[in-house]
Amino acid sequence: MNAPIPKPWIMDIHPYVPGKSTTDDGRKVAKLSSNENPLGTSEVARAAFLAHAGNLERYPDAGAVDLRDALATKHGLDADRIIYGNGSDEVLHLAAGAFAGPGDEIIYVNYGFTVYPIATRRVGATPVVAPDKDYATDVDAIIASLTERTRIVFLANPNNPTGTFTPAAEIARLHAALPSTVLLVLDHAYAEYIGAEDDDGGMELAKTTSNVLVTRTFSKIYGLAAERIGWGYGAAPLIEAMHRIRLPFSITIAGQKAAIAAIDDQAFVDASRDHNAKWRTWFADEIAKLGNAGLRAVPSKANFLLVLFEGKLTAEAAYKGLMDHGYIVRWLPGQGLPHGLRITIGTEDEIQGVAKALRQLVEEAA
């Protein structure tokens, strides 16, 4: 029987696979697979959400005016140059949809965020994967990948799933090498986890140049993953073009109010950053102690570690073993990392439990 035929580039998409929340047999486990905030959500944000959760019959503000004003005040931005979306994922898709199409190329790095190839193929553009340098972004490889067909470069900083960070000088060098017609999208989903001394200069580029878009999210350090609130900042013509294809009501009333409250709760953000820095360092040190067994942690500036398994204990065995111990992490064969596990920095008890379980698994594999 005849039926509508999808475009070939759509059928080339590998759907996004989220981190698991339960085991295959339905057991509840500590979820360290999705980079969620182990401290939960700011109490003032939760209160704001609950106070406005009853307006179910009303459409949310299609322009998110109050949220954009709050973001502009917090970050010293022009509210008219802020776009919002259903998570930063939607903003990334908007960038691809507005500035690329069939016959165009979009560059992203090897081991980049899985939304980039989806957004690229969704609009019929051709993905170009730039080689990495020991799991980190190689700016020279990106520059070497540029052609006259290049329209967008996607770069997460810190990167997901590796956690690696590209310093400001390298971001500036990359931007300087791009033609003005190429859009540089800097994905700052984990930017709040880095200190001011590690600012990559991306937001300043977005403020002052015509071809840089910075995206951010409330899903990570703000603990609002369930509400899917992302935003972006760039030159006015960029934002105007993206608004033309943006869904008008993609963030709920309660979600907008929670985000506005979260912006002002700096104490929660600071506590989340401090917890992450302490236990990420501790966990990296524990992995280093297992180096003789072939385990290695890629240096991370995010709220997770990519642990590589290069000895007798394989990543697959560790993934299954950790699940048996009550911890679910992210195994990454679909991203070209069959030897890697991305492990979210959880609570103190969770991350200590994972380290203990890994030591036991290493001993059993010896």
Backbone angles phi, psi at 20, to 5 degrees: -70, 150
Return the pLDDT at 143. Answer: 98
pLDDT tens digits along 262-283: 999 999 999 999 999 999 999 9
Where does the pLDDT of residue 11 fall: very low under 50, low under 70, confident under 90, or very high at 90 and above? confident
Query: pTM of the predicted model, to two decimals?
Result: 0.94
The predicted model gives 228-245 an average pLDDT of 97
Q: Is the dihedral angle over the CA atoms 159, 179, 173, 143 positive or is it negative?
A: positive
Spell out the SS3 assignment of 251-290.
CCHHHHHHHHHHHHCHHHHHHHHHHHHHHHHHHHHHHHCC
Where does the pLDDT of residue 59 fall: very low under 50, low under 70, confident under 90, or very high at 90 and above? very high
At a CB cut-off of 8 Å and minimum separation 6, what does 54 contact?
none
151 closest CA partner among 172, 188, 171, 180: 180
N- to C-terminal Cα separation, the chain: 57
Domains of the chain as residue ranges with CATH: 21-39+267-365 (3.90.1150.10), 43-264 (3.40.640.10)
Question: pLDDT at residue 67 above 90?
Answer: yes
The predicted model gives 16-40 an average pLDDT of 81
